[in-house]
Amino acid sequence: MTPITTVHYLVVAAALFALGVIGVLTRRNVVIVLMSIELILNAVNLNLIAFSRLWGLHGQIFAIFVVTDAAAEAAVGLGILIAFFRNKETVNVDEVDLLKW
């Protein structure tokens, strides 16, 4: 068997990233769109940590910052989602076409 190199991890990360992008671009359910964004962030994290094996710990630090960011993004995103659901009674992202209500 070939040894597992950095490239292997990067390919996994690329696949996850692509999946996340597909989710964001094609799904209509806001919750799933938000989850796809989490997938993208995770793909980035995997990249960062894979590189941190080559260039030192800075990648891991950045991964931690990305996790922090993801937490903030999830909180605000879900807050918006709840406000949106209260007004429109739907979680469909296509309905978010007004910039105010």
Partner 1 sequence: MQPVATTFFFYFLAGLSIVSGIAVILRKNPVHSALALIVTLLAQAGLYLMLYAPFVAGVQIILYAGGIMVLFLFVIMLVNIERSQKEEQFNKQWFAGLLAALALGGLFVFVYVKGPALFQKQTLPIPEQSNTQQIGVMLYGNYMFAFEIASLLLLVAIIGAVVMAKKRI
Partner 2 sequence: MSNSVKTEEKTTSATPGTPPHHQPKDPSSYLSHLELGERDQTYLDTDELILNMGPQHPATHGVLRVILKLDGEKVLGTECIIGYLHRGVEKIAENRTYTMFNPYVDRMDYVAAVSNGLGYCEAVEKLLNVEAPPRAKYIRVILTELNRLASHQLWLGTHALDIGAITPLFYTFRDREEILKIFEKYCGARLTTHAFRIGGCQYETYDGFEQDVVKFLDFFTPKIDEYEGLLTTNRIWVDRTKGVGKISAEDCIALGVTGPVLRASGVKWDLRKAQPYAAYPDFEFQIPTGTNGDTYDRYLVRMQEMRQSVRILRQAIGRIPEGPIMAKVPKVMKPPVGEIYHSIEAPKGELGYFIVSDGSTQPYRVRVRPPSFINLQALDVMVRGQLVADVIAVIGTLDIVLGEVDR
Q: Which of residues 32-61 bind partner 1 (CB under 8 A)?
A: 32, 34-36, 38-39, 42, 45-46, 49-50, 52-58, 60-61
Per CB under 8 A, the list member of 30, 85, 97, 99 interacting with partner 2 is 85
The CA distances from residue 50 to 1, 56, 65, in Å, are 20, 10, 16
The stretch among 1-9, 49-57, 62-70, 83-91 that binds partner 2 (CB under 8 A) is 83-91
* Interaxial angle between packed helices 30-55 and 58-88, expressed in degrees from 0 to 180 and rounded to the nearest 10: 180
Residues 58-77 that bind partner 1 (CB under 8 A): 58, 60-61, 63-65, 67-76
